[in-house]
Chains A and B, each alone.
Chain A
Amino acid sequence: MKRYSAFAIAKEAFRHQLGWERAWRSPEPKPEYEVIIVGAGGHGLATAYYLGKNHGITNIAILEKNWLGGGNTGRNTTIIRSNYLQDASAAIYEKARSLYETLSQDLNYNVMFSPRGVAMLAQTHHEVRGYRRTARANAIQGVETEFIGSEQVKALCPIINVDGPRFPVLGALWQPRGGTARHDAVAWGYARACSDMGMDIIQNCAVTAVRRTGGTVTGVETTRGAVGCRKLGIVVAGHSGVLAAMAGFRLPVESVALQALVSEPVKPCMDIVVMANTVHGYMSQSDKGELVIGGGADGFNNYTQRGSFHHVEETVRALVETFPIISRLRMLRQWAGIVDMTGDRSPILSKTPLENCFINCGWGTGGFKAIPGSGWAMAELMAKGEPGPLAAPFGLDRFREGRFIDESVAAGVAH
């Protein structure tokens, strides 16, 4: 693989950019692989990457129904944080966040991780209590957060109205090393690194059936023919239920639409990421200048990648109330992704009833931030056949035992 460097860019500038290689190969599927990952989104690609990097497994095909990175990886609001209350969540999200810190260098691809800081506003006494509690838990878990007062919130983000008549800002849970990254670049960077390790990324290749012998997986049928494997990883977010049905089991998952929008680009007016869970809205400003805005998910099962406008209205209303100066800015583009919500709103990283078939899903509204940690833990699970400490709490068995990982206890929405 040709390394990206300042020198390479200067060199290419003199020869009209004609020397760049393909970022990833586009091979035909082989008849058999050691591992097949279904889903070339961030989580699937990261799983393959860490299988290669940490476990030396590179005989891998990553099958993608459409174009790589085209699902929720390319549709989210790119927030990265790990200020979770429960131990299991804090551990995996903090693992992910710390991997993001060096991901550009690891992948030789600038994913533009920008630790600009994330503030979760406390706008009721209940939220103040919840976030104080989270800050205390984080201190013990080794996640750097603190509860800050409203003056500090105002200093960090002067465009916030902290004295709103209905939901004044009483403080915030502040994670200084949280932030954002360039979502497409995360998928592309992992894809390039996977391809470089010899893995096959096969786009426009939909899985139509899961082949099994006895209780063990043996491969998949696809729109581009049958492909065998020893181990199968299902990493398809919103479509997990459909793949699980092919593999013969059912999941504690429902698919719903989550919407987001961006404004027209304007000159910098906000340096940090702000989340306001009481009023259901969150916002940051991209490097391009667009305000990137998200809110709550729709309530009903949906596979259309279209949401309902009233959710957009609610989100925008909340943010205009919180950031009055944005009232005269304009919504440029609005879209939706299909997210998979589990019974306790926490993810699933698990073995399945089908031997050698593993599943990684249920990241709901907050998967982007987890990509490196999720891939790391899923790779360990698939390589060893048993979960490591990061994945262990997220097994499917927790629903039978009642051992929930419930993040809603601190905040209304688990973004």
Chain B
Amino acid sequence: MSRRLSEGGRLIDREVPLGFLWNNRRLTGFRGDTLASALLANDQQLAGRSFKYHRPRGIVTAGPEEPNALVQLGHGASSEPNLRATTVELADGLRATSQNHWPSLEFDIGAATGYLAPLFAAGFYYKTFMWPRVAWKHVFEPLIRRSAGLGIPPTQPDPDHYEHYHAHVDVLVVGSGIAGLVAAGAAADAGARVLVLEQNPEFGGRAPVDGITVDGLAASEWIDDCVADLAWRDLVRVRNRTTVLGVYDHGYVFACEHRPRPNMDKSRADAPRQRLWRIRARQIVMATGAIERPLAFAGNDVPGVMLASAARDYAVNFGVGIGDRVVVVTNNDSAYLTATALAEAGIGIAGILDIRESPAGPALDRARAVGLDVRTGMSVASVFGRRQVLGVSATASNGDGARTERIVANAVVMSGGWSPSVHLWSHCGGKLAWDANRGCFLPDADRPPAGADGVGMVIPVGAANGTMDASGIPDEAVRAGREAARRAGHRGRRGRQSSASHPAQAEDAAESQPELAWMVPRQAKRSLRSRAFLDYQNDVKVTDIELAVREGFQSVEHAKRYTTLGMATDQGKLSNVNGIGILATSMGQEIAGVGTTTFRPPYTPLTLGAIAGEAHGPLFKPVRKTPMDGWHDDHGAHWEPVADWRRPYCYLRDGETVKAAINREILNTRRRVGLLDASTLGKILVSGPDSGRFLDMLYTGRMSTLRQGRCRYGLMCNENGFLIDDGVIARLGEETFLCHTTSGGSDRIHAWMEEWLQTEWWTWKVWTVNLTEQFVQVGIVGPEARTVMERLGNIDVSDEALRFMDHVDGELAGFPVRLFRISFSGELSYEIQLPAAAGLEFWTQALEAGADLGIQPYGTEALHVMRAEKGFIMIGDETDGTVTPQDLGLDWAVSRLKSDYLGKRAQARSYLNAPDRWRLVGLATEDPNAVLPDGAYATDGSRQQDGGKTMIGRVTSSYWSPTINRSIALGLVERGPDRMGEVIGFPVESGRTIRAKIVDPVFLGQDAGANA
């Protein structure tokens, strides 16, 4: 049966029918429909099941506040759960299914829990499921988990993509109702850059539905003119389908823009599905309107009970009637608009139950004039029907619901008054105040959310500010727009004064003055209260709040958390105020004293993919690459991430294992010659008259005495005395040093230097530049290194001309280079620094020059093994942020004579000088073939005060050394250097203990590999 009216529907195009699937049934709607309006047109009121009791639920709103009609859209990887049918634009071929039921929407086994509702009152989880103890994890929790949840998450990665968009504006106007459009015009007239965002596809808010006229025009005509006028202006941008979701400090706002008809627009298949707007606004005009509240009466959740405003929307916007005998129940005038609109559309009104004793006003007069049956002082006592409305019992609104009269009906529309949409005011600290006259929480103008300057940054206007009568809106909105522009620094009246956006007057069809009743009838018996729902989705009833109060959960936050009121996917848009009303009533307090919960972003749920944007896959975090990266990749590089870089761990030859490759690279370097891409090493130039003095403070050793042309190894500590970085420092000139840092440390250490220079020693004349990416560095290492060097150019690399720790400038392979004779392996080693652009060319020339000598590139693991063979420490292996140079036996690199350096004072503290500190030693396993696991701890068999075993040391580096053909390890051991020769045990997996002798950390002695 179709509920599509023969006429009307200002948003639909009856010429364009659209077929869609609902629970695998083929249905038809029109272009312009929402999924909800199309379902209603097909007489499909039942749209979902509630969270806890799996009760049948119908469509109750026509907007983003919908708690009931949550659907699963699409299928497969494009499936999307929990979408509100009221905001899904209908598209041809759209596929939607209802959620949270088994086996079907109409017949749901889970609804059996509804019969146990007396057991499952608020908070019952906390009182049971405790026995036996293991049952929670193995029985109860799995059951609860399975029955909870709503829709089904997709099982495949998202095929769509998302993007971010940045906007900087003077004034952001949220909402395109009359208030928003007028404010936008006024702000732009004053010279402000304005952005207007509207969540719906159409502009204008409620005005066109509510019969408002502006300057004698129907609202929709005036809005079309006004939007056209605004869109024409340079200073104004207007966007629909873009929901403002959150307001953060200093005017940061984010919004989400949806493509029309998601998934369906094949012509723009490559376009992003959603766009996250990140906006900086100096001022925000909040013209977000208001949301109608339900009334709490028994059976107010039966499908077919709907907000009065929503019923009006469906009739006027979509040409859909929600029933043919409709009962209206209200505490204010606005529902009369629905009654008359439905009556005009030919829908039977079974009666208007107005809970007020003696209401009066034009809305009532009009209703009576068209012959509607208005019954004052009356309310619904209870709704008949389970899966659809069959009728209501009417009763005196002030009574207990005992004396009733039956009215046959198939739909009920209700209005409990209006709640201004104040969410954006609250997100960033704006406070609300209860307005007892208007019956709503309003922005408290004295306590606004403040911007960076401490001045309010959100200006509420229109219904969002409690102005329910349209006639008051134009003046208020002009003032708001001008004030926003003024606060954003625009006082002028640049541009023209547009009459289109400055209406002289607006006229409303209804005045809204609610008479509050949190439960109707007011003295309702328990049997009615226990069937009156506040939160439809989470099944929170009036009696649940009463129970919470009885049990002491009286703070509004306690009551909310105990009952889960307002914690559903609508975040309490319909339920919060009614719940607070019941809470206050139960405690015999005023609402003002009870307060409200805090609104948190986002206003409506936001897709996680939109938040992530384009930054996924390789773009998640860009990889830093050296100029030789492509060569490495072409030559079998087995990559390892090192900080943000990638470096070859080793180079795999055909059929070779990683382990074999590492051993090959080590032996080739030790016996012949190896080539290392060391470009990732940090290279920081430090220059200026005070640079020596500065480096003396930064490093533990003395750098000011370093002679030009020489290098020195340096250690850096933080002010806690712990090692943070190391590297070789070269003195390039009288006032200039080049400081090498670790690969991961270059940015951090450069920032560290700048911090001290700018914030502590700012009178010192020192300049620093991070040149890490401007230069490559290539190591030529091994017994044949000198031969390779001699073939590459004319620099004298003899022992006499270029001693260990010397450096010299010259030319190699036709490129200007800086040559260092430094070694991290114990081998004869040259490191060549040259401009990055020449890196790849030099690398290939070096390989050619050494080809007949057996030159091979080697990776980071060979580098690490070779340094460990020589007992050299590695930042990040031997150090972990709690290790001092003294712990590592590096006292020789710490100047005792310097009066100060960073970390010196800290190293004087008692704990850092304790005799039992763990210190660096070598560890030689008794079984030379047993390699100690990295991170293994040694114990001595004793127990600590708390019962744990006492640890006396740990392995910091551990490798197989192909050079000496046995395992080697470095470790930190309590009083280690004093215990040479002692054997200690490292318990490892499956009860095994590996025993190792404490030895000198230098495994490859002075006689071997000592050609540095």
Contacts and interface: CB of A to CB of B under 8 A. Distances in A.
Direct contact of A and B (CB under 8 A): yes
Contacts of B246: 309, 334
Contact of A91 (B127, B148, B609, B946): B946
Interface in A163-204: 164-167, 182, 184-185, 188-189, 203
B82 A6 contact: no
Interface string B148-169: 1111111111101000000000
A23 B278 CA distance: 45
A269 interface: yes
Interface string B601-618: 110011111011101111
Contacts of B951: 87, 137, 140
Contacts of B254: 309
A384 interface: no
Contact of B126 (A4, A267, A409): A4
Interface stretch (A29-37, A121-129, A228-236, A350-358): A121-129
Nearest to A130: B935
Interface in A293-311: 304, 306, 308-309
B713 interface: no
B125 interface: yes
B551 A141 contact: no
A148 to B, nearest CB: 13
Interface in B984-999: 987-988
B740 interface: no
A192 B217 CA distance: 63
Interface in A315-373: 316-317, 319-321, 324-335
B158 A327 contact: yes
Contacts of B550: 17-18, 20, 22
A193 B352 CA distance: 52
A409 B954 CA distance: 14
Interface stretch (B138-146, B404-412, B672-680): B138-146
Interface in B549-588: 550-555, 557-558, 561-562, 569, 571
Interface in A251-289: 263-269, 279, 285, 287-289
Nearest to B564: A288
Given A312-B611, A320-B616, A5 B149 contact: no
Contact of B133 (A20, A105, A166): A105
Given A9-B127, A189-B126, A406-B881, A17 B547 contact: yes
B218 interface: no
A13 B151 contact: no
A214 interface: no
A10 interface: yes
B103 interface: no
A320 B600 contact: no
B911 A402 contact: yes
Interface string A370-409: 0000000000000000000110000000101111101011
B107 interface: no
A142 B555 contact: no
B686 to A, nearest CB: 27
Interface in A109-132: 109-110, 112-116, 124-126, 129-130, 132
Contacts of B555: 66-67, 70, 203
A8 B128 CA distance: 9
Nearest to A6: B128
Contact of A403 (B80, B153, B429, B911): B911
A289 B149 contact: yes
B361 interface: no
A112 B124 CA distance: 12
Contacts of A125: 640-641
Interface residues of A, number: 111
Contact of A325 (B124, B156, B552): B156
A330 B607 contact: yes
B82 A264 contact: yes
A20 B148 contact: no
A216 interface: no
Contacts of B554: 26
B365 interface: no
B987 A166 contact: no
B128 A401 contact: no
A325 B153 contact: yes
- Best-surrounded residue of B620, B910, B912 (most CB of chain A within 10 A): B620
Nearest to B127: A4
Contacts of A402: 720-721, 906, 909-912
A325 B154 contact: yes
A104 interface: yes
B725 to A, nearest CB: 15
Nearest to B547: A17
B935 A136 contact: yes
Contact of A104 (B51, B136, B149, B911): B136
Contact of A409 (B78, B146, B615, B880): B880
Given A265-B150, A306-B248, A335 B526 contact: no
A314 B518 CA distance: 43
Nearest to B252: A309
B876 A126 contact: yes
A113 B140 CA distance: 12
B268 interface: no
Given A140-B939, A141-B948, A328-B607, A4 B128 contact: yes
A411 B823 CA distance: 31
B68 to A, nearest CB: 14
Interface string B263-294: 00000000000000010000000000000000
A223 interface: no
Task: State the 10 A-B residue pairs at the shortest beta-carbon distance, nearest first.
Answer: A133-B935, A289-B149, A327-B158, A327-B609, A330-B605, A324-B157, A4-B127, A67-B555, A22-B552, A409-B880
Given A91-B948, A105-B130, A267-B149, 7 more contacts: A23-B553, A129-B877, A164-B617, A265-B148, A289-B149, A321-B617, A406-B881
5 contacts: A4-B127, A13-B119, A16-B118, A136-B936, A332-B571
